[in-house]
Amino acid sequence: MINIQNLHKSFGNIEILKGIDLKIVRGETTIVIGPSGSGKTTLLRCMNLLEMPSNGTIRIGDNELTFGENKKPTEKEILILRKNTGMVFQGFHLFPHMTVVENIMEGLVTVLKQSKKVAHDKALSLLEKVGLSEKSDSYPHELSGGQQQRVAIARAMAIEPLVLLFDEPTSALDPELAAEVLKVMKELSLEGMTMVVVTHNMSFAREVGDNIIFMDNGLIIDKGTPKQILSETNNARIKQFLNLVSD
């Protein structure tokens, strides 16, 4: 369902992604691991076009965009691709002046042009899904970090994207609050939601991931099942990384 070919991204003279090839099957959870600075977050942001790739091709569903010096996508093409992706950030990124339900409604009303009544009903349904029905009229500052992140997941799901992208969704949370968020993500995975998750949580990677890719220095070094990458790898660089990462 997702096909990335020869993806490059540079910031000035610094090349961050150095030719990424990646295929992701519908309904699977792909975990992206690797050391800091390896390009994991940049890859996610390129998939959502928060960062514009320097070169390469991205196809999500039926929409394919090619990037290069003389190939720039139109605003319409960018919007279509973004509608197919929901992004959940490390820092929640909720609108502080809006209630929880208003945060979830925002994309439905402004992007999908749905009526406020339809958007409100859908937002309440999504809040129930993430276990926060009782917080619909609360403001973000009144919620714990785990609750805010669950609202962020509901907001990302609201536009019914083909894929959810998670960038270290629990790294800012203590273990108890992180567990709340991971529980919701596990349920989404079991329901067949296509997800790409950047994380350092190896227990989650083992339990939920269908595939794991290991990135280092802007490249995909290896990919395989959790067992192949986390337990059976012979790659010295991956072994070194795993020895340093604690669950």
Residue 90: predicted pLDDT: 86
pLDDT digits (tens, 9 = 90+) for 87-136: 998 888 899 999 999 999 998 998 888 999 999 999 999 999 999 999 99
Residue 99: predicted pLDDT: 97
Its pTM stands at 0.93
Contact 177, 145 (CB under 8 A): yes
Q: Cα–Cα distance between 110 and 106 in angstroms, integer?
A: 6
User: pLDDT above 90 covers what percent of the chain?
Assistant: 83
Contact 205, 230 (CB under 8 A): yes
pLDDT digits (tens, 9 = 90+) for 26-73: 999 999 999 999 999 999 999 999 999 999 999 999 999 999 988 888
Alpha-helical (H) ranges within 98-201 are: 100-110, 116-129, 145-158, 175-190
Residue 69: predicted pLDDT: 86
Q: Cα–Cα distance between 35 and 164 in angstroms, integer?
A: 22
Pairing of strands 163-167, 195-198: parallel
Q: Cα–Cα distance between 190 and 243 in angstroms, integer?
A: 29
Residue 220: strand pairing partners: 215
Residue 191: predicted pLDDT: 93
**Would you say residue 247 has pLDDT above 60?**
no
CA dist list (Å): 34 to 41, 79, 172, 187, 223 = 11, 30, 18, 25, 11
CA dist list (Å): 159 to 11, 32, 80, 87, 114 = 30, 24, 12, 11, 10
Q: Which two tokens stand for residue 152?
A: 């962020």
DSSP-based three-state secondary structure for 8: strand
**Would you say residue 246 has pLDDT above 80?**
no
User: What is the mean pLDDT of the segment spanning 202-206?
Assistant: 92
Residue 219: strand pairing partners: 216
What ranges do the domains of the chain cover?
94-160
Residue 112: predicted pLDDT: 83
Q: Cα–Cα distance between 119 and 121 in angstroms, integer?
A: 6
Q: Cα–Cα distance between 16 and 96 in angstroms, integer?
A: 32
Pairing of strands 55-60, 2-11: antiparallel
